[in-house]
């Protein structure tokens, strides 16, 4: 009997070690996702979503949320993104997060963003998820009414309301942000392609001019305006809690498209198509 208990204890210890190793392996792969090309990244992302689901409920939520955050940095296929969404939904369903304040936990907001902006299928019945959807609706109401005046790095002033009649793409970014830097060549190409049709791209950074100017001059030359928002007032007005983030307004000043994260050329084209640019 004593021997059997010892064997069972050894089994549990080994099982726990294997589980910890499995979690670490998943975590290590998450940390290197950005280094993969898009085709490989899509396959690894989908596989990790399925592997995370096999973990015990006490272990999967953090990894599922991290994967969800990374899975929107481009276009890795709707099937892949749905698997990621389902994994996060399952993790929240098994380990609900309860908070004392009125604001929903970020994991529920992430899931709500996948449903609202990426059109992923979510059926979670949870008050915090409902609150997260309501928060996104309220944020979008503020974005629809947004107005600002900012100065670009050349000293020119830009006022959003003065751009009625143009299609306006507002991109929030930073010099230190790898996904932001990755999408800048596509934005520059789109500006060159559609500028004559009335496209205005305004790239907004909260950094100081001394940081932004040399970056644009030496490392990432672009032809569209780079606006400075060092106090973050415009970023706050748009409820920007992560970058890159992009918003598209049509010629009537109506918000017609927005992104959670980095977009590819095809995704930007789809967004601009909603404003009538093709």
pLDDT in tens, 173-222: 999 999 999 999 999 999 999 999 999 999 999 999 999 999 999 999 99
Instruction: For residues 109 and 99, give the distance between their C-alpha atoms in angstroms, rounded to a whole number.
Output: 13
Structure tokens at 249: 């307004």
- Buried/exposed 102-121: b ≥16 CB within 10 Å, e otherwise: eebbebbbbbbbbbbbbebe
* 243 within 8 A of 206, measured Cβ to Cβ: no
pLDDT, position 2: 37
| CATH code of domain 149-273 | 3.40.30.10
* Domain coordinates in residue numbering, the chain: 2-141, 149-273
Pairing of strands 199-205, 226-228: parallel
Residue 100 in this model has a pLDDT that exceeds 80: no
pLDDT in tens, 6-39: 453 443 344 444 557 889 999 999 999 999 999 9
In 3D space, the residue among 260, 257, 267, 263 whose CA is nearest the CA of residue 144 turns out to be: 257
Is 173 in a helix, a strand, or coil? strand
pLDDT, position 177: 96
Average of pLDDT values for 139-150? Answer: 96
* 42 within 8 A of 33, measured Cβ to Cβ: no
**18, burial (CB in 10 Å: exposed 0-12, middle 13-18, buried 19+):** exposed
* 188 within 8 A of 268, measured Cβ to Cβ: no
DSSP states of 119-149: --------HHHHHHHHHHHHHHHHHHT---E
DSSP code of residue 161: G
Helix, strand, coil share (%) of the chain residues, nearest 5: 55, 10, 30
Residue 84 in this model has a pLDDT that exceeds 50: yes
In 3D space, the residue among 40, 55, 136, 42 whose CA is nearest the CA of residue 88 turns out to be: 55
In 3D space, the residue among 141, 49, 126 whose CA is nearest the CA of residue 94 turns out to be: 126
pLDDT, position 19: 52
* 142 within 8 A of 239, measured Cβ to Cβ: yes
pTM above 0.85, yes or no: yes
> Across the strands, what pairs with 228?
151, 205
**Mean confidence (pLDDT) of the chain:** 92
> Across the strands, what pairs with 199?
167
pLDDT, position 102: 75
The CA–CA distances, whole Å, from 94 to 29, 89, 91 equal 24, 9, 5
Task: Tell me the pLDDT band of 274, cut-offs 50, 70 and 90.
Answer: very high
Work out the percent of the chain whose per-residue pLDDT is above 90.
86
């Amino acid at each position: 009997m004593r021997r059997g208990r010892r064997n069972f204890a050894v089994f549990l210890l080994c099982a726990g070690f294997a589980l910890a190793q499995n979690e670490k392996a998943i975590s290590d792969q998450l940390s290197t996702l950005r280094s993969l090309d898009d085709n490989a990244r899509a396959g690894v992302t989908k596989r990790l979503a399925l592997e995370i689901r096999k973990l015990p409920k006490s272990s999967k939520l953090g990894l599922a949320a991290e994967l969800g955050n990374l899975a929107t940095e481009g276009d890795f296929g709707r099937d892949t993104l749905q698997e990621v969404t389902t994994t996060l939904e399952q993790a929240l369903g098994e380990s609900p997060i309860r908070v004392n304040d009125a604001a929903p936990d970020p994991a529920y907001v992430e899931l709500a963003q996948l449903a609202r902006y990426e059109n992923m299928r979510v059926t979670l019945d949870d008050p915090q998820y409902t609150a997260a959807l309501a928060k996104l609706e309220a944020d979008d109401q503020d974005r629809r009414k947004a107005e600002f005046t900012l100065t670009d790095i050349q000293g020119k002033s830009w006022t959003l309301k003065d751009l009625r009649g143009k299609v306006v793409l507002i991109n929030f970014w930073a010099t230190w942000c790898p996904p932001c830097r990755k999408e800048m060549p596509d934005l520059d190409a789109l500006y060159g392609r559609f500028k004559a049709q009335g496209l205005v791209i305004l790239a907004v950074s909260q950094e100081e001019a001394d940081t932004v100017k040399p970056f644009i001059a030496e490392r990432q030359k672009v032809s569209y305006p780079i606006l400075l928002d060092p106090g973050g007032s415009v970023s706050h007005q748009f409820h920007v809690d992560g970058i890159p983030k992009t918003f598209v307004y049509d010629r009537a000043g109506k918000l017609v498209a927005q992104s959670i994260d980095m977009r590819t050329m095809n995704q930007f084209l789809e967004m601009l198509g909603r404003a009538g640019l093709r």
